[in-house]
Amino acid sequence: MTIRVLIADDHPIFRFGMKALLSTETDMQIIGEACDGFEIIKLATKLIPDVILMDINMPGVNGIEATRQIMRAQPEIAILIVTMLDDDSLFSAMRAGAHGYLLKGSEGEETLRAIRAAAAGDAIFSPRVAERLIHYFANPSVKTTTDPFPELTAREREILDLIAHGLTNNAISERLGLSPKTVRNQVSTIFSKMQVANRGEAILKARGEE
């Protein structure tokens, strides 16, 4: 399967570098690029890519608002935030529906791995971002003494915890000794029970902040 990719970034040099990186991959195809939020929203509607590489700071509509609008209209598209911002923009991006968050300057192999993971429905984060996410999840602002998700089985809660720590479906499969298909089914069931659409929403809801 060829992964159809859109690039949204207002820096021509970054777009050029990303196109050079992806052009060497036989399973990826760049189908368009945009330099502002308005343009990427239009292209997403017109081209329906598999993955969008989305910068945050862009003219017009910023990347987070563009992500929110695209996810509302085409939730099947995976959006991977690629930015210089190593701050709490991560959580705004997750609330908007982003599937992952990479810092610019990441190694090429890390970026390619993230694109493939997003296309497969997994969430992926740069190592520094993952540390922030784990700390965020481990230190909720409100502690409760009751189980916030009584509808989840013990196994489902275990998988939810691993999702919150940034593990992909394949990594969860290896950790728990389950088949990849079983993990995919369990993750879908968890999302359905929690009434969320993706990993980012599940993590936020598990922490008690929607």
Q: Domains plus CATH for the chain?
A: 3-129 (3.40.50.2300), 140-207 (1.10.10.10)
State the Cα torsion 166-137-99-115 to the nearest 10°: -30
Tens digits of per-residue pLDDT, 177-198?
A: 888 888 988 888 888 788 777 7
- The model carries a pTM of 0.67
Tens digits of per-residue pLDDT, 134-170?
A: 666 555 554 444 455 677 787 888 888 888 777 788 8
Mean pLDDT of 63-74: 91
Mean pLDDT of 3-7: 97
